[in-house]
Chain A
Amino acid sequence: MSFDVVLRSILSAAFVGSVIRVATPILLPALGGLISELAGVTNVALEGLMLIAALVGVVISAFTGNAWLGCLIGVACSAVVAILLAYFHLNLKADIILSGLAINIASSGGTIFILYLLTKDKGSSSKLASLSLPRIAIPVLDGMPVLGPMLSRHNVLTYVAVLLVFLIWVFLYRTRLGIHIRAVGENAEAAGSVGINVRRTRYIALMLSGVMAGLGGINMSMGYLNMFQRDMTAGRGFIALAAVHLGNRRPLGVALASLFFGFADALSNQLGSLAIPPQWVQMIPYAATVLALVVYALQGRAAAVERARRLQERLQAHVEATGGE
């Protein structure tokens, strides 16, 4: 088959642009998933939280005529539901996975329910005159031949997402709250022993993951597409969770993993137009994540063995130096 056609289309600037475009709604919730994961809480509700924000954003923008207000309220709703999830998990001791799945089910059903109420249509919000967040042409870049189509004229949330990778890195590694979130996730007892409020910290982490998932949802319905569609996130919340693990729970790693997922997605779209089954390519990121789990597990084991060996050497040196006991 015409591999050079594929190759040429991959190497095109437009393709790189589309990778960035499809990676954004994975990256945003993945950053949220990262924050809660580091706090020691696996948020499987990202998917549902995205849907909520996606619908609310569209509806509010349609009724107020203000896209930014839609974005704001959509994100706020997603954050509130994340807090509700936190309440069930942290106060009522519900299992985080099951309650997260419950939020997903309620969101999937609830958004369709509300969509139907408002539009008498269960498929999409095409009847609502909703608005989108603007695309931004970057002044100098825009005119450039290759870089322009690659990097300019993306939705504003794409740039926000890129910015957030760095902001979240700074947040997690350079601010008190971020450091406390990581401390709580790694050793809650130790964090508690120096006066860090473990529960409050986890509340904040879950709320922030709600905010990020919300931005991802808004990006879906007010950027990636210009309307809400039922179950439009199509598993991106789960992919985001995978990106957290594939990215080894670091902001930059998560960003690269999201780009990788985006690449596979964009590639499968290209292949689709070339009559090559896109599913092959779509499978790659998932398989890569499973592989990454294996690799990290083996690495961890190797590191433990190595640590034991080094300590034993030190001990041996000690015994020799001190002449037995």
Chain B
Amino acid sequence: MSSLIEMRQISKLYPNGVLANDRVDFSVERGEIHALVGENGAGKTTLMKILYGMEAPTEGEIWLRGQRVHIRSPIDAIRRGIGMVHQNFMLIPSFTVAQNIVLGREPLDRGLVNYTEALRITEQLSKEYGLKVEADATIDSIPVGMRQRVEILKALHWGAEILILDEPTAVLTPQETRELFTAIRKLTERGKTVIFITHKLREVKEISDRVTVMRNGRVMGTLKTAEASETQIARMMVGREVFMVVDKPPVQRGGVVLQVRDLTHIAETGHVRLRNISFNVYAGEILGVAGVEGNGQTELVEVLAGLRPATFGTAMVDGQSLLNHTPRKVRELGVSHIPEDRLTYGVALDANVAENTVVDRYYRPPFTRNGFLSVGFIMEFGNGLIRQFSIMAPDASVPVRALSGGNMQKVVVAREFSSQPRLLIAAQPTRGIDVGATEFVHQQLIQKRSEGCAILLVSADLNEVMSLSDRIVVMYNGAIVGVFPDAQKVTEEELGAYMLGLKKQDPAEMEAYL
């Protein structure tokens, strides 16, 4: 008997040259809960987008219920019984739960939408699958966990036989996660099939029947969950492929530059994103922050850079408070920041290279003299950085839009490195750029370290963290769960265990090394 879904030799090559899926084979049996795990960028989401019709595969075949199919759009997928619950919910905030569930196929009564019937459908679905929702409440008034249940019910209402859940627990509290798992089991009891994307191994063990591990766009294997140990899965996920060699002089640690104590951040949604974080960064060292994305690293960086408020706690640079200031004040205290999302924060695409390199200092001499912008000087400065950082651009008057991703990142790096920072916060500094540019950025980071700069390196790329850092801390679920005072002496398996929440150091023990 053939599998319910079979994806054969799927490859996806994006126009920018990224090979997100490389001859992937993936199959799912009817009625199972199949976990799909892998680090960020491993290609899980791309694979599921292909199955859901949001992306077309470059190569490969999809077989559904023993027949070859071409899934052209999400609607096409829905009609074939495939539903997907995205991380950002596809809901209309001012509509009620029931209205959202029936949206697109509202029940009619003499030409008008029968809301009573919609409520009845919702209640019935809710009862049938044990997914509790308030049918008559509007989406913007209910908690995230319930919104997710609404999404699942919506998919079921569309007749989904196969449900893809994209990191469903990322937004949930532990209690809500337990409720979700109960509901998922109920779904499979009723013959539904669930594909569960995650990178939390505890959840894989708890919920899934089988697990497929992906890494770097390839499938590393599919295992029966009962027969696999967490360490085995972890090794498949984070095993190092190529060891990056970075020439690095021995660390010469100076005084404390950044001192963070009990830093807590509660997002506007009410979720606790950072829990009592404390650590120091010393002059002349690189402190690496490892962790699976979404465990508070983004918030940590943005709070320190002045882009988000802190709820409690302190952070000092050279003894001066850093928190809840404007980004300008933070920068004037000697903090530089390479943002994780280059296109959102890092550059203004339609401004030229020179203009992009002075956004943090344009108002100061020598960039502004006697109230006037020194245009010639700024252009020269930009040209200087182009040479110094080998940016592939004819000159500093070209708009940044004309550059490649790697060269855009070099513009960001050039700006942030050239301000002589005391503290450099580098978030995902090499994401999405080519090997040459990556190597260059790494060299520059080492160079800054030798100059006595304190560097906080946040990266989802374990290779990068391990080869560059002097010390490493691991973040999990908004807290620091492990600290490794000597980055040379730690293995990727060990880090992986902390990153995936399998292990946790005692806070009292960690204190001495933070």
Contacts and interface: CB of A to CB of B under 8 A. Distances in A.
A associates with B: yes
Interface of A: 170, 174-176, 179-180, 182-183, 186-187, 189-191, 193-196, 304, 307-312, 314-315, 318, 321-322, 325
Contacts of A311: 143, 269-271
A290 to B, nearest CB: 24
Nearest to A193: B90
Given A175-B111, A176-B106, A311-B271, 10 more contacts: A170-B112, A174-B112, A176-B113, A179-B95, A186-B94, A187-B93, A194-B104, A195-B78, A196-B104, A309-B270
B270 A312 contact: yes
A315 B272 contact: yes
Interface string B70-110: 00001100100000000001111111000100011110100
- SS of A interface (majority): helix
Contacts of B247: none
10 contacts: A170-B112, A174-B115, A176-B113, A183-B92, A191-B104, A193-B90, A195-B75, A315-B270, A315-B271, A318-B174
A179 B113 contact: yes
B94 A315 contact: no
B232 interface: no
A191 B270 contact: no
A186 B268 CA distance: 20
B270 A314 contact: yes
Contacts of B92: 182-183, 186-187, 190-191
B99 A187 contact: no
B266 interface: yes
A153 B141 CA distance: 46
Contact of A179 (B99, B143, B268): B99
Contacts of A308: 268-270
B317 to A, nearest CB: 29
Interface residues of B, number: 35
A187 B173 CA distance: 26
B142 to A, nearest CB: 10
A183 B95 contact: yes
B269 A190 contact: no
A9 B90 CA distance: 54
B140 interface: yes
Contact of B90 (A176, A187, A307, A314): A187
Contacts of B106: 176, 179
B16 interface: no
Contacts, number: 84
B175 interface: yes
B175 A318 contact: yes
A303 to B, nearest CB: 9
A315 B271 CA distance: 8
Interface in B246-278: 266, 268-272
A228 to B, nearest CB: 38
Nearest to B52: A193
B268 A322 contact: no
Contacts of B91: 187, 190
A186 to B, nearest CB: 5
A179 B108 CA distance: 12
Nearest to B79: A195
A195 B143 CA distance: 26
A311 B99 CA distance: 23
B111 A307 contact: no
Contacts of A304: 268
A314 B143 contact: yes
Nearest to A315: B270
Nearest to A314: B143
A180 B100 CA distance: 11
A193 B173 contact: no
Interface string B111-147: 1110100000000000000000000000011010000
A186 B94 CA distance: 8
A3 to B, nearest CB: 44
A312 B266 contact: yes
A127 B179 CA distance: 77
Nearest to B74: A193
Contacts of B268: 304, 308
Contacts of B108: 176
Given A196-B104, A304-B268, A315-B272, A186 B113 contact: no
Contacts of B477: 325
A322 B175 contact: yes
A307 B137 CA distance: 14
B268 to A, nearest CB: 5
B78 A175 contact: no
A189 B90 contact: yes
Interface string B460-476: 00000000000000000
